[in-house]
Structure 1
C-alpha cells in the first residue's frame, strides 16, 4: 500500500501547468508552478517544516514548546500543520491588512492569533515584527521562528522547489518569476537553478510601497518608498537576510489594482484559483514580455490558494470600493451604484441646525439637501456650517432655513459623468440624481473621484 505516514509527507512535488489565454501575448512557453497543491495550500509549507526540523535538531525547539511567528498567514499555516503532527503549541502575530480568512484558518488549526496594526514602523513596539519577537523572549520554552532571517527558509527551496522545477522542465527553464516577501523562495530556487545554469534569469515581483526594487538597482534603502499597500504576501519595509540580491537579475513593481485584477483573471481565464501574489506575478510576467524569446521556458510560481481571499479580491463590493473593479462608468446612475439603494438623508427647513449636524455625524456625510413641502429648496455643507459657527456660536439653535444655501442641481440618471462633474465646483459641492418614481440620490466629489480608474 502507498500512503503518507502523516500530512507533512504530502508537501512538495506540486504540478506545473501551461498558462494559455492569460499569457497569450508572451512569445514563449509559460508554466505556472502551483504551490496551492501543498496540504496547507501554499509554498510556505515547505520552509515551515524545514525550519521546525532544523530547530528541533539543534535544540532551539524543545518538546512541548511553543512556536511563535509573525506571519501574513501562510507560514503560520505550515507551522501549524507541523505543530499538530509534532505536538507543539502555536502563537501567530499577523497585521490587520491580512484577510479575515487567513486569521480564521489559523485559529481553525489550533493557533492563537494576535492582530497588530499595519501602518506602523517595523521597530514600533506595536508592529507584528516587534510583538512576535517580544513574545519569543517572554514566553517560557518558546521558539521565535523569524522566517525573514532564518536560513532554513531559503534552504528548503534550494533542496526542494529548485530541484523540482529543474526536473519538471528537463533543465530547459530560462526564466523564473516569483513574488518576493521574506526572500526564501526566490533566493533558494535561484541558488539551485543558477548552479545548474548560470544563464537562467531570476525576476522578482515587488509592489509599490516596498523597498526591494530600488535597493536592488541602487543599493539605497529609501524610506520614502515605504507606504501602506494592499497586496498581500510580497514586498517589505525591511531587508530580510533571506533576500540574496546577488542572485536576482531584476525586479518589476506591480500596482495593488493590477495585482487584484489579474488574480481574478487567472481564475476566470485559466481556472487557477490562486491568491493575491499570483495576480501580481502574472502582471509582472506581462510587464517583462520584451525579455522573452520564442525558444524560452518561463516558470512563474503561484504562492497560495484563492480561498484565503474570497472576502477581498474575489468580492465585487471590496473591489468596487477600491476602484479595482473593471466597470464602465459613463452616466450619473453608475456613480452611485454602490449606495443608490440607501435612503437619501435630508433635513427640513424648520428643523434646527443641530439636527442637521447630528445627521452629518451619524451618516458620516459632508453635504445634505434641504426640503419643504414643495420639494428641494436648499442645501447644507459642513464647511459652510463650520464658517458660520465662528460668526455665530448659537447657530445650532437656528432653523435650517436661516442658514441653508442654494439647492443642489438635479440631473437625470442618464446624465453623463462629464455633465455631472461640471456642476460640482467650489460653490456647489454635490448634485442630486433623479432616479424616477420620486426617488433621488446624491452625488459628491467622492463619488466622482472613486470613479477614476
Structure 2
C-alpha cells in the first residue's frame, strides 16, 4: 500500500501545467509551477516545514513550544499544518490588508491570529514585524520564525522546488519568473537553476509601493518608493536577507489593478483559480515577452489558491470600488448601475444650518440638495458652509435658505458622461440624475474620478 504517514509528507512534487489562452502572443512554451497542490494550498508549505525542522535540530524550537510569525497568511498556513502534526502552538501576526479568508482559514486550523495596521513603518511598534518580535520576547518557550531573514526559507526551495523544476523540464528551463516577497522562493530556486545552467534567467515580479526593483537596479533603498498597495504576497518595504539580488537578473513591476484583473483572467480563461500574486506574475510575464524566443521554456510559479481572495479579487463589487473593472462608462446610469440606489439625502429650506452640518457628518457627504414643497430649490456644500461660518460664527442657527446656493443641475439617466463632467467643471459641485421611478441619484466629482481608468 502507498500512503503518506501524515499530511506533511504530501508537501512538494507539484505539477507543471502549460498555459494557453493568456500567452497566445508569446512564442515560448510557458509552464506554471502549480503550488496550490501542496496541502496548505501554497508554496509556503515547503519553507514552513523546513524552517521548523531546522529549528528543531538546533534547539531553537523545543517540545510543546509556541511558534510566532508575521505572515501574509500562506506561511502561517504551512506553519499551522506542521504545528498540528508536531504538537506546537502557533500565533500568526498579520497586516490588516490581508484578506478575511486568510485570517479565517488560519483560525480554522487552530492558530491564534493578531491583526496589525498596514500603513505604519516597519520599526513602528504597531507593525506586524515589531509585534511578532515583541510577542516572541514575552512568550515563554517560544520561537520567532522570521521568514524574511531565516536562511531555511531559501534553502527549502534550493532543495525541493528548484530540483523539481529542473527535472520536470528535463533541464530545458530557460527562464524562471516569480513574485518576490520574503525572497526565499526566487533565491533558492534561482541559485539551484543557475548552478545547473548559468544561462537560466531569473526574473522577479515586484509591485508599485515596493523597493525591490529600484534597489536591484541602482543599489539605492528609496523610501519615497514605499507606499501602501493592494496586491498581497509580493513586494516589501524592507530588504529581507533571503533576497539574493546577485541571483536575480531583473524585476518588472505590476500595478494593483493589473494584478487583480489578471487574477480573474487566470480563472476565467485558463481555469486556474489562483491567488493575487499569480495575477501579478502572469501580467509580469506578459510584460517581459520580448525577452523570450520560440526555443525558450519559461516557468512561472503560482503561489496560492483563489479561495483566499473570494471577498476581494473575485468579488466584482470590491473590484468596482477600486476602479479595477474594465466597464464602459459613457452615461450617467453607468456610474451607478451596479449599486443599490440609496435614498437621496436632502435638507429643507427652513431647517437650520446645524441640521445640514449634522446630516453631512452622519452620511459622510460633502454636499446636499435643498428642497421645499416645489422640489429642488438650492444646494449646500462644504465650501458654502466654510465661507458662511467665516462670516458669522452663529451661522448654525440660521435657516438653510439664507446660505444656500443655486440648485444642482438635473439630468436624465442617458445623459453622457462628457456633458455631466462639463456641468461639474463649470462650477457645480454635483449633478442630480432623474430616475424612471421618480427618485434622484447624485453624481459628484468623486464619482467621476473613481471611474477614471
Does the alignment pair 1:389 with 2:380? Answer: no
1:166 touches 1:193 (CA, 8 Å); kept in 2? Answer: yes
Unpaired runs of 5+ residues, structure 2, are none
1:22-33 matches, cutoff 5 A: 22-33=22-33
Which residue does the alignment assign to 1:439? 439
Structure 1 residue ranges without an equivalent (≥5): none
Identify the range of structure 1 (97-106 vs 388-397) with the bigger mean alpha-carbon deviation. Answer: 388-397
Secondary structure, aligned partner of 1:446: helix
2:330 is equivalent to residue 330 of structure 1: yes
Alpha-carbon separation, structure 2, partners of 1:144 and 1:242: 16
Shift of 1:425: 3.1
Q: Note the alpha carbon deviations across 1:273-308, whole angstroms, 9 max, x for none.
A: 000000000000000000000110000000000100
TM-fit CA distance, 1:340: 5.2
- In the alignment, which residue of structure 2 is the partner of 1:356? 356
Give the TM-score of the pair, scaled to structure 1: 0.99
1:337 CA drift (Å): 2.9
Structure 1 runs (4+) greater than 6 angstroms displaced? none
Cα offsets for 1:337-356 (capped at 9, x unmatched):
35451111111111111111
1:36-115, aligned counterparts within 5 Å?
A: 36-115=36-115
How many residues are matched? 453
**Which residue of structure 1 lines up, in the alignment, with residue 16 of structure 2?**
16
TM-score (norm 2): 0.99
1:120-199 mapped onto 2 (5 Å cutoff): 120-199=120-199
CA distance in 1, matches of 2:88, 2:246: 36
SS in 2 for 1:47: helix
Q: 2-side partners of 1:426 and 1:411: how far apart? A: 15
CA distance in 2, matches of 1:314, 1:171: 36
Deviation (angstroms), 1:336? 2.4
Aligned twin of 2:300: 300
Paired with 1:52 and 1:437, the residues of 2 have a C-alpha distance of 63
Q: For 2:433 and 2:339, how far apart are their aligned partners in 1? A: 13
Contact 2:341 2:441 in 1 (8 A): no
SS in 2 for 1:125: coil
Q: Which 10-residue stretch deviates more, 380-389 or 182-191?
A: 380-389
Three-state SS of the structure 2 residue aligned to 1:283 is helix
**C-alpha distance in 2, partners of 1:387/1:72?**
47
Say whether 1:401 aligns with 2:401: yes
- SS of corresponding position for 1:320: helix
Distance in 2 (CA, whole Å) between partners of 1:189 and 1:425 is 54
Between 330-339 and 190-199, the greater mean CA deviation after superposition: 330-339
Query: Aligned-residue CA RMSD in angstroms?
Result: 0.8
**How far is 1:140 from its partner?**
0.7
Give the match for residue 314 of structure 2.
314
Superimposed CA distance per residue, residues 162-186 of structure 1 (whole angstroms, 9 cap, x where no aligned partner)? 0110111111100000000000000
3-state DSSP class of the match of 1:247? coil
- CA distance in 2: counterparts of 1:334 and 1:273, whole angstroms: 29
Residues 12-56 of structure 1: CA distance to partner in whole angstroms, max 9, x if unpaired?
A: 011111000011111111001110010000000000000000000
Deviation, 1:427, is 2.9
Structure 2 counterpart of 1:230: 230
Distance, in Å, in 1 between the alignment partners of 2:56 and 2:186 is 25
**d(CA) in 2 for partners of 1:419 and 1:338?**
21
Give, in angstroms, the shift of residue 437 of structure 1. Answer: 2.8
Structure 2 distance, partners of 1:307, 1:125, is 31
81-90 vs 410-419, which moves further:
410-419
Partner residue, 1:424: 424
Question: Structure 1: how far apart are the matches of 2:77 and 2:97?
Answer: 17
Provide the C-alpha distance between the structure 2 equivalents of 1:254 and 1:438, rounded to a whole number of angstroms: 44
Aligned with 1:61: secondary structure? coil
Once the two structures are superposed, residues 66-121 of structure 1 have per-residue CA deviations (whole angstroms, 9 ceiling, x without a partner) of 00000000000000000000000001100000001111111111111110011111
> Are 1:340 and 1:441, in contact at CA under 8 Å, matched by a contact in 2?
no
Give the direction of change, closer, same or farther, for the CA distance of 1:253–1:216 in structure 2 (3 Å limit): same
Q: Distance in 2 between matches of 1:241 and 1:350?
A: 66
